[in-house]
Amino acid sequence: MHPSPLPVLVVGSGPTGLTLAIDLARRGVGVRIIDKSPEFPRTSRAKGPNPRSLEVLEDLGVVDAVLAAGAAPLPMRKYRGGVAVADAEPFADQRPTPDAPYDRPRMMAQWRLEEVLRARLAEYGVRVELGAELVGLAEGEASVTATLADGGLIEASYAAGCDGGHSAVRKLLGVPFEGKTDETQLMVCGDVEVEGLDRGFWHQWFDEDGAVMLCPIPGTRSGWWFQAGPERDASGAPMPPSLAGFRRLFAKHTGLPSDRLTEATLLSTYRVNERMAARYRVGRVLLAGDAAHVHSIAGGLGMNTGIQDAYNLGWKLGRVAAGLAGPALLDTYEEERLPVAAQVLDISAERLRATLEAIKKPGGGLDSAVGPGTNGLGGGYHWSSLAASPRATPRLRAGDRAPDAPCLDAATGDPRRLFDAFAGPHFTLLGFGTGTGGALRGAAAVHGDELRAYGVDADGPSGRLSDHEGHARAAYGVGPDDELLVLVRPDNHIGLIAEADDVKAVTAYLSGDEI
Ligand SMILES: Cc1cc2nc3c(=O)[nH]c(=O)nc-3n(C[C@H](O)[C@H](O)[C@H](O)COP(=O)(O)OP(=O)(O)OC[C@H]3O[C@@H](n4cnc5c(N)ncnc54)[C@H](O)[C@@H]3O)c2cc1C
């Protein structure tokens, strides 16, 4: 295994491509990221990162910028016949917990999140190459060559198609995009300017013959996300979205003067597609984000699943490109993420069904789109070949998301969370109890920079964390007198749980062909 002198090519600079490019760049892997668009988008589209994506963004070093640019989810105000009938706050009962610091999504325009991600990427010296449309791909023995629309060629070690639902990469690979398109569930959406509406609410008007939903776009004075059932012509066919049409829908369902809505951009008709790629990897080319799966926006999982795909792929592609692991590691990306896409399709279909049912009744609204699975925190990769583990605990098994816990740095007494210890491109070995000290030192000596080894109430080469309130032991299901090793992958999932002195298990895991 040798490091490739060629860069990894990321095709598409949406949230998926940018996340992947940052994760590669922070590992020191050469990366180029191209986009066919001549300029960066200013359209709002997805409404913001969910709790799991916020954890990913924290690891990538941008969560403070994201929290500052976004806003807390607003209460929803629901109307019938133009009259407010109910308010709902779907996240009102949720609180951050020691093991999960983000209890609700952060609302922000997609273009703003992309701006934050691009700024982070630029810190590694990588800039998106605009006006660069991929039109061809050819795989050689040790590289893949992309052809651009202007005839330019880019030779790369690997290519990642993060180029959205109409993915040219997926089509060029001939990978089927299996599923269905529902032409009956249509919605028009756009970014609009509206004056004189209370920006403290996500307003939702539902009537027998349609709906209009308006959510303020954070960071703007009078910008709103607009969603509505489409107007239909005399034959019942949906009419294309337009400013005039949005104003008619606005006046009809809100009872407010149509001239309050002054501008509309990103005019789009949205159909519910439920499709996923049959494969995520063909040789040196991988698919991620909307290129790999599309589904209803109910539950807000579209962009979030893409960010989380990229987080799963980043460390694997980074290790393979750097010559630290064989290409078999890349197969675990499809092995882990393709079933997640299937789950996400099911979750979003169920949230859509629940929402369509709820809005038939007065007081029903988009709060029904929030439900089990939409925070992204639940899932693990238990079926993965990377999750074979000698031990489990009553709380956790290999493949699970690695929980956070507030601890103290035993040397300084300063607060130090487990997420602080995990942050960065390395694996983290946690040793619970003093009996793990030898294994922590042994593993660190073998694996050098790729592993940080912390003792939880034990001395580790990377530091000693004091679990002064027992949150770490509670989150990891380790009893007060139990001693255990827990290996956390760079994407903050549990790789391995082993006996306190089982340094061999750790070394075997980190030296395996797949890793
Ligand atoms: C109008 C609208 C409203 C939406 N609302 C929501 C919502 O409320 N909630 C939600 O969760 N999701 C929503 N979505 C979906 C969400 O925007 C996507 O899930 C998300 O953008 C996926 O991110 P991505 O990076 O995978 O792909 P994209 O964001 O689609 O990025 C793909 C990038 O690839 C580039 N590209 C494409 N082809 C090529 C090529 N051949 N060569 C080079 N570059 C190429 C494109 O220019 C684009 O920049 C909405 C989408 C739209 C369009």
> pLDDT 10s digit of each residue in the chain, 515 long?
788 899 999 999 999 999 999 999 999 999 999 999 999 999 999 999 999 999 999 999 999 999 999 999 999 999 999 999 999 999 999 999 999 999 999 999 999 999 999 999 999 999 999 999 999 999 999 999 999 999 999 999 999 999 999 999 999 999 999 999 988 889 999 999 999 999 999 999 999 889 999 999 999 999 999 999 999 999 999 999 999 999 999 999 999 999 999 999 989 999 999 999 999 999 999 999 999 999 999 999 999 999 999 999 999 999 999 999 999 999 999 999 999 999 999 999 999 999 999 999 999 999 999 998 999 998 799 999 999 899 999 999 999 999 999 999 999 999 999 999 999 999 999 999 999 999 999 999 999 999 999 999 999 999 999 999 999 999 999 999 999 999 999 999 999 999 999 999 999 999 876 67
13 lines ligand 1 (CB under 6 A): yes
* pLDDT for the residue numbered 349: 94
Nearest residue by C-alpha to atom 12 in ligand 1 = 46
CB 212 within 8 A of CB 249: yes
Nearest residue by C-alpha to atom 51 in ligand 1 = 45
85 lines ligand 1 (CB under 6 A): no
Beginning with the edge strand found earlier in the chain, give each strand of the sheet holding 261-277 in spatial order. Answer: 83-88, 76-80, 202-207, 210-216, 223-228, 177-194, 261-277, 293-294
14 lines ligand 1 (CB under 6 A): yes
* pLDDT for the residue numbered 337: 98
17 lines ligand 1 (CB under 6 A): yes
Domain residue extents for the chain: 8-71+104-179+273-369, 180-272, 385-510
- Ligand 1 geometric centre to CA of 294 (Å): 10
At 35 the three-state DSSP class reads coil
Beginning with the edge strand found earlier in the chain, give each strand of the sheet holding 463-466 in spatial order. Answer: 415-417, 406-409, 463-466, 451-456, 427-432, 484-488, 494-499
Element of type H or E holding 28: none
Give all strands (DSSP E) within 366-474, no chain letters: 406-409, 415-417, 427-432, 451-456, 463-466
* pLDDT for the residue numbered 513: 61
Nearest residue by C-alpha to atom 21 in ligand 1 = 303
Nearest residue by C-alpha to atom 27 in ligand 1 = 164
At 327 the three-state DSSP class reads coil
Pocket test for ligand 1, best of 10, 32, 36 (most atoms within 8 A of CB): 36
Question: How far is 356 from 349, CA to CA, in rounded Å?
Answer: 11
- Ligand 1 geometric centre to CA of 52 (Å): 19
CATH superfamily of 385-510: Phenol hydroxylase, C-terminal dimerisation domain (3.40.30.20)
User: DSSP assignment, residue 233?
Assistant: -
- Ligand 1 geometric centre to CA of 499 (Å): 45
- Ligand 1 geometric centre to CA of 222 (Å): 24
- Ligand 1 geometric centre to CA of 165 (Å): 7
191 lines ligand 1 (CB under 6 A): no
Report the atom number in ligand 1 closest to the C-alpha of 18.
25
341 lines ligand 1 (CB under 6 A): no
300 lines ligand 1 (CB under 6 A): yes
pTM check: above 0.85: yes
Pocket test for ligand 1, best of 9, 50, 110, 121 (most atoms within 8 A of CB): 110
- Ligand 1 geometric centre to CA of 426 (Å): 30
- Ligand 1 geometric centre to CA of 269 (Å): 14
46 lines ligand 1 (CB under 6 A): yes
222 lines ligand 1 (CB under 6 A): no
Question: Based on the number of CB atoms within 10 Å of its own CB, is 320 exposed (0-12), middle (13-18) or buried (19 or more)?
Answer: buried
162 lines ligand 1 (CB under 6 A): yes
* pLDDT for the residue numbered 4: 85
306 lines ligand 1 (CB under 6 A): yes
CATH fit for domain 8-71+104-179+273-369, picks 3.40.50.720, 3.50.50.60, 3.55.10.10, 1.20.1560.10: 3.50.50.60
Question: How far is 439 from 390, CA to CA, in rounded Å?
Answer: 16
Question: How far is 506 from 308, CA to CA, in rounded Å?
Answer: 25
- Ligand 1 geometric centre to CA of 14 (Å): 6
Encoded tokens for 402: 């690695």
Record: fold of 180-272: Alpha-Beta Plaits (3.30.70)
As a 3-state breakdown, the chain gives helix, strand, coil percent values, each rounded to 5, of 30, 30, 40
Question: How far is 303 from 300, CA to CA, in rounded Å?
Answer: 7
Q: Which residue has the tokens 């075997």?
A: 508
Encoded tokens for 86: 């109910």
Nearest residue by C-alpha to atom 52 in ligand 1 = 45
Question: How far is 238 from 235, CA to CA, in rounded Å?
Answer: 9
- Ligand 1 geometric centre to CA of 302 (Å): 9
At 179 the three-state DSSP class reads strand
Nearest residue by C-alpha to atom 29 in ligand 1 = 14
- Ligand 1 geometric centre to CA of 295 (Å): 12
User: Same CATH topology for 180-272 and 385-510?
Assistant: no
Residues paired with 302 in a beta bridge: none
Pocket test for ligand 1, best of 43, 52, 297, 305 (most atoms within 8 A of CB): 297
